[in-house]
Amino acid sequence: MLFFSEALVMVSDTGQPQGELTIEVQMGKHKDKFGVMSRCLFVHAFSRGFMDNILCGNSLLGYLSWKLEPMEQHNQEFIKFPILPMERKMSLLKQDDQLAMTRIVKEGEEVKTEVTSFPWHSIAGFVSEAANLVLLRVMAWRQTVPSNARFLALDTEGKLCYSTYQALGSQTIQVGHQQVEVFIVEQTVHSEKGIPMSCQFYLLSDGHLAKRIQVGSPGCCMVTKVPILREEDDIEPRPVFEKKPLLWEEDMELYSRFMDRKEELRLSHSSYLRLHPEAQALISDFLLFLLLRQPADVVTFAAEYFGPFAKRHPPTPALRSSNRPSPFRALDLECIDGEEDQAGS
């Protein structure tokens, strides 16, 4: 329900189009430094337009874990000033138990590079720019913002600070020829040195962004027509397939494979018996004794017959299970010895 693309138009305060903004959230795959691929959230955003007749743009490419933790992120911002063009690049990369940040600032011909590492335990609750776009869609679906929502973030100078989210309620706005109800969320990034920067997001019920306003900026971004609202995906029950009998004898391919396998086994067994005539003699002897004794318990008789061949088991009386009971009473040897002693005395 969070995976879709959207496009907005950048307009000036007079309503003139100045550029465009596209946002895409999809399922993706990320390769770590060991070459292991893992499933993740893929976020891509791009904006390009004019501000006071000056070309500017911003691009964002991010990979997030299912907990919205940054795995890798790259963003670039440029402003084509006539005299001193400015370009900023920043990369985030998770490395073991650290988050490495590389920041490059180019003003004219001057280039500054800064590399910083943050211990992973010190950035618990960090919300990157890519995670912010996903988090806004979740808030839109739930139509609520957690109370005292405060997270770690990075300001424009690449310094750790905190950002807050606040629900500004619902409002009806005009989009094209339609009126739609939106849920407004304001995000404020509180930089330690600069002034706080706030941005208001007007969100439709399914997470689409209808309007974005940078507080203090003369322009805004908005959609030109209402998108088709997405509904929550219904999980259909798994289909049940009845088990059908396998009529392999009527299947020409299966029957042919059966006959081939049968002939293969017959030839293999015949070859083995020719190479081992003692096996045939052993089986013949067993069958002969079985027919002669005709025991009631064939399994026990077989175990006793082949028992002497086992080296680990002590010897047992041969074929005791097939011995018929004697019709004569067993003699008590101690009693017989006692009677003989009395007769001798």
Residue range 32-57: average pLDDT? 90
In this prediction the pTM is 0.66
Closest CA to 50 of 27, 72, 78, 71: 78
**Helical residues (DSSP H) of 155-312, grouped into ranges:** 252-275, 277-293, 298-306
Give backbone dihedrals phi and psi of 137, rounded to 5 degrees, phi first: -65, -35
Separation between Cα atoms, residue 108 and residue 82, nearest integer Å: 10
Q: What is the per-residue pLDDT for 194?
A: 80
Half-sphere exposure of 154 (CA within 13 A, CB side): 23
Closest CA to 186 of 203, 173, 174: 203
Structure tokens at 40: 């993740």
Q: Positive or negative CA dihedral for 118, 122, 127, 130?
A: positive
Separation between Cα atoms, residue 145 and residue 186, nearest integer Å: 10
Average pLDDT in the chain: 86
Q: What is the per-residue pLDDT for 327?
A: 47
* Tens digit of each residue's pLDDT (9 = 90 or more) over 98-143: 999 999 999 988 999 999 999 999 999 999 999 999 999 999 999 9
> Residue 3: pLDDT above 80?
yes
Residue range 279-299: average pLDDT? 90
Q: What is the per-residue pLDDT for 19?
A: 93
> Residue 316: pLDDT above 70?
no
* Tens digit of each residue's pLDDT (9 = 90 or more) over 147-172: 889 999 999 888 999 999 999 999 99
∠ CA 112-115-121, nearest 5°, is 150
Q: Contact, 221 vs 11, CB < 8 A?
A: yes
Element (H, E) at 44: strand 37-51
* Tens digit of each residue's pLDDT (9 = 90 or more) over 331-345: 454 544 555 555 554
Q: What is the per-residue pLDDT for 51?
A: 81
Q: Contact, 154 vs 70, CB < 8 A?
A: no
* Tens digit of each residue's pLDDT (9 = 90 or more) over 172-216: 999 888 899 999 999 999 998 888 999 999 999 999 999 999 998
* Tens digit of each residue's pLDDT (9 = 90 or more) over 205-255: 999 999 999 998 888 999 988 888 776 655 667 777 777 787 878 888 888
Element (H, E) at 334: helix 333-344
